[in-house]
Amino acid sequence: MRAHFLPLALALTAGPLTAQMPTADSARFVITQEGQPLGTEDFAFRVGQTGSGEPAVSFVASTTAPEALRLAVTVGPRRITVRVASSAGEAAREYPGGSATLVADERVLTLYALAAGIAPGAVTVYGPPPGGRRTGTLELGHDPLPGASGPTRHMILRSGEDVVNLWYDPSGRLLRVEIPSRGLNGERVISR
């Protein structure tokens, strides 16, 4: 699979995270491209506090496609730290934090689990080169998740040429990610 720059969300809201984002979640997602299995992603995150009492999120994901890697993210009110380990080695990056800040990486769709905590509106998207910094918009969508057994919340992220559809359950748990222009889908299959 050729490398793509996909905006993947990480966010802290300016207010409490409890209403739209669970304080913890973990699951397995199956990733497909053009309907063909591509691999799996396992993730876990939890919302806590820094030593000074400010909200902070820790997120860990392991993927099998398009390559095996482990990603660890720490999101605080002023800084987002991303660490990636793969067969090519290890790398770390830091980005400014904020209430409408997103981080991009082309390999981990389950990072969108953290977008449940961001309010609709303008966002700043940071990503590794060549994407760099750009602006985007997070919108409230209106499409229900096909086949869902209960109510869902649909969000749409627009950044550059990418449009990403996100569906969450009423408690803010990510259920599905769709990137129609790339034929990529990620769907929750196991909750832990």
What is the rounded CA–CA span in Å between residue 167 and residue 96?
Answer: 26
Query: What pLDDT is recorded for position 128?
Result: 61
User: Which regions in the chain score pLDDT beneath 70?
Assistant: 1-19, 104, 106, 127-131
Query: What pLDDT is recorded for position 157?
Result: 92
Query: What pLDDT is recorded for position 40?
Result: 96
Residue ranges of domains in the chain: 24-191
Q: Which long-range contacts (CB under 8 A, 24 or more apart) does 160-166 make?
A: 160/5, 160/7, 160/131, 160/134, 160/136, 162/5, 162/6, 162/7, 164/6, 164/7, 164/112, 165/141, 166/9, 166/112, 166/115
What is the rounded CA–CA span in Å between residue 37 and residue 171?
Answer: 28
User: For 20, phi and psi rounded to 5 degrees?
Assistant: -115, -10
Lookup: tokens for 124 = 């700043």
DSSP string, 81-113: EEEEEETTEEEEEEEE--TTEEE--TT-GGGGG
Query: What pLDDT is recorded for position 18?
Result: 33
Query: What pLDDT is recorded for position 43?
Result: 96
Query: What pLDDT is recorded for position 14?
Result: 33
Query: What pLDDT is recorded for position 158?
Result: 92
What is the rounded CA–CA span in Å between residue 184 and residue 162?
Answer: 12
Q: Could you tell me the fold of the domain covering 24-191?
A: outer membrane lipoprotein receptor (LolB), chain A (2.50.20)
pTM score, whole prediction: 0.85
